[in-house]
Structure 1
Amino acid sequence: MFVVTVTYTAPLDEVDRWRPAHGEWLNRLIAERSFLVVGRQVPLVGGVYLAAGMPVDELDRLLATDPYAVRGVATHSVVEFTPLLVAPGLEHLKDG
């Protein structure tokens, strides 16, 4: 599993220009269950994704298709981790 942080590298008005395409991209990855949770950082300097277990090169390929990355308005940072403890009802997250 991965925690991905997104950091905006352009002013918000430039980021906002690509927000609809970015939202469609996120919705597709949520529907595919490649991403499990997505949200905005507070304050709004980027975002955070919780990505399902997959080979890291596959995640890198997915992140490279993010409209924010394609347009050069954000960068991604990835931390891989192994879930050991989870809240009741989320045991499936430990299975990768």
Structure 2
Amino acid sequence: MFVMELTYTAPLDAVDAVVADHVTWLDEQYAQGVFLASGRKSPRDGGVIIAVAEDRAGIEAIAAGDPFVTAGVCEYRITEFEATKTAPGLERYRETAG
């Protein structure tokens, strides 16, 4: 499982100019079962996405395709972790500590 933390690198008006494309990209990732949750940080200086993928390289490739990245308005910090405990609705994403 991955925590994808976005940090804006441009003023909010530049971010807002790309939001519609970013939301379309988010919807595509949800449809493919990659993203589990996402939202803006407070204060609004970026966002957070919880995602699942087979490996870090796959998540990095997905992040590189974010319209925010291609427009140069954000950077990602990606943290991989083993979800050994989850809420009941997320059991299928649990991992055994290895």
Q: Confirm or deny a common fold (TM above 0.5).
A: yes
Q: How does 1:1-96 map to 2 (within 5 A)?
A: 1-95=1-95
Quick one: distance in 2 between partners of 1:90 and 1:61? Answer: 24
Quick one: distance in 2 between partners of 1:88 and 1:20? Answer: 32
1:5, distance to aligned residue in structure 2 (A): 0.3
Q: Unaligned regions of 5+ residues in structure 2, if any?
A: none
Runs (4+) of structure 1 moved beyond 2 Å? none
Secondary structure of the structure 2 residue equivalent to 1:89: helix
Quick one: distance in 2 between partners of 1:39 and 1:81? Answer: 19
Aligned length: 96
Q: Give the fraction of aligned pairs with identical amino acids, expressed as a percent.
A: 39
RMSD, aligned CA:
1.3
CA shift digits 1:61-93 (9 cap, x unpaired)? 111100000010000000000011112232111
TM-score (norm. length: structure 2): 0.92
Quick one: distance in 2 between partners of 1:54 and 1:4? Answer: 15
TM-score (norm. length: structure 1): 0.94
